[in-house]
Amino acid sequence: MTDGQRDFSQVRDAMDRLVKNDILPGVSISVQQDQTTVFTCCSGWADRENRIELTPEHLFRGYSNTKLATSCAALLLMEQGALRLDDPLEKYLPEFAAMRVLNPDATTLGDTQPAERPIRLRHLLTHTSGISYDFLTPGSLIAGAYDAINLRDPAGTLADTVDKLATLPLVCHPGTGWNYSFSTDVVARVVEVAGGKPFGAFLQERIFDPLGMTDTGYWVPAEKRHLLTRLYAGASAEDPNLPGLTPNAEKSCNEDLFRKPSLEMGGSGLLFSLPDMVRLLNALNVGETRLLGPEALALVYENLLPEGLWMQFPGFGELTGKAHSAAGSVSVAAFPHEHPDTAGSIWWGGVAGTQWWLSPQTGMSAAVMTQRENGFAHPFATELKNIVFQCLEV
């Protein structure tokens, strides 16, 4: 398929190969340039066992793609003067005053020291708050503490989750380290307080409805139940290119997805269709219909990390050249295995493989949707991105 000038057949071939080789159950992609769709394609299955072909209308568990919507909500409130990037968190959530930080060799939660500075909104948006995640460091002191207080209790609320977080120490002083974290969930709670309404309602009224994102939400209504894609696990966590997919029956058929939840997290939980993800990306790219004004939009693209601080994940070390804006990772420099035009783009994705990126220097944006567990770090994402950049060179 082409847009009259560029040939994207290599992208389609790669997608077909990933499905044929039993790496992905199905995958869809949409590429925009200056808000004009130049390529869109679906390959494979929404439900492989029942031979339901994947279409653009199918719904995907967005997982951490939720964070982009949450960042946009905070930026909207900044634009209207209700929030400021350097506001201390305790201004909105007093329970985060006088936070403490675990000592480097701590073996108990009481082995702490006072935080050197308050957590600020910029720290939350860039994952430099000192808050962490449980699933990235299993067996650690802080992961055990998070698990013990059941932060994802489906019977709770966002306020409950954030109140619990405030009772635990930080893993580093705010602004001094990058830790992927529950920080975006705290941002969502700040949006509730500053915006004066439940987080999900704020997203609906200020983002989803204005952009026409009619398929996005925290649950799947009955009339769209047939559109939810099935979730799969790969054959090996150690070798992501090993063929083999197994449906995750528990998560695929989770009845909680089909009723409105009480817990609406800022860091995960939203479901998206491919067209809805495109609508959100277009609103952050060039063109007439923008969600944010120039100053707030600049924070979507600007590296907000202190000089010399880069993203890092357990097991991968410091990702030199990968920084963070108010909305996602900033590729200050391309890795050797990435297309050179990756430099200057921002990107993020979800643990089941849904991904997005924005390239301001080319006016290009793209969304890739699939449902394979641990798909965020899978090599297929970089492969498809590289091929898209190659096609845009012509």
Residues marked active site are found at 64, 67, 180
> What letter does residue 230 receive in the DSSP assignment?
P
Q: Answer for the pair 369, 274: CB distance below 8 angstroms, yes or no.
A: yes
CA-CA distance, 278 to 24, in Å (whole number)? 21
- Write down the residue that tokens 């890795």 correspond to: 335
Question: What one-character-per-residue DSSP string does 231-251 give?
Answer: PEEES-SS-TTS--EEE-HHH
CA-CA distance, 166 to 21, in Å (whole number)? 46
326 alpha-carbon distance from chain centroid: 12
Encode 152-163 in three state secondary structure: CCCCCCHHHHHH
Per-residue b or e along 38-54, where b marks 16 or more CB atoms closer than 10 Å to that residue's CB: bbbbbbbbbbbeeebeb
Q: Answer for the pair 54, 42: CB distance below 8 angstroms, yes or no.
A: yes
CA-CA distance, 165 to 93, in Å (whole number)? 11
